[in-house]
Homo-oligomer: A and B are copies of this chain.
């Protein structure tokens, strides 16, 4: 009885999750392409294949949908980046792994990257508090690791904060500025080779930036 009941419950919960995720996938893409105000919940519903009113059953307001999209973007990103800055590991390896992980996110979740970027460019008026609470501490911790390496003489002395800004910017741009890059490259979209070229160049640049004179 208990088992059956819980099966029923988890069945409907699973169903609900599946539809929720479909809505969130559609919303992420549309928010990235059109911005918050440029995206109507009707458009999200249509792309999900449900009615607008049904969508409003799952997410009672447009704001709650947007918030959830940003939360999921951040959860996914934080999970991928959490363990990277290991102070004990070889600095060059950590830096290359960092670049690779962030580029991979740009490649696999371009819409997520772009939603986040749009929010930040607009001044993070909606999501600034969450960025302060969840993103900034992580970036500060990474900067501390870099500075620890400098103090120990394991890498050259550079401005650790701006190094991280540079690393972030270079990798992020393969999602955010993909539309311009494809025009320059004359391709319909970025390829795996493009991301390999990017990883090599950015990795080399970052590692050389902190290479000791020796």
Contacts and interface: CB of A to CB of B under 8 A. Distances in A.
Main secondary structure of the interface of A (DSSP, over half): helix
Contact of A166 (B165, B168, B201): B201
Interface string A128-166: 100110011001100100000000000000110111011
A33 B169 contact: no
Nearest to A122: B33
A89 interface: no
A92 B197 CA distance: 22
Interface residues of A, number: 55
A201 B163 contact: yes
Interface string A101-126: 00000000000001001101111110
A170 interface: yes
B32 A121 contact: yes
B38 A162 contact: no
Enumerate the 10 nearest inter-chain pairs by beta-carbon distance, A residue then B residue, closest first: A37-B38, A169-B173, A35-B35, A162-B201, A37-B37, A124-B179, A169-B169, A205-B209, A166-B170, A169-B170
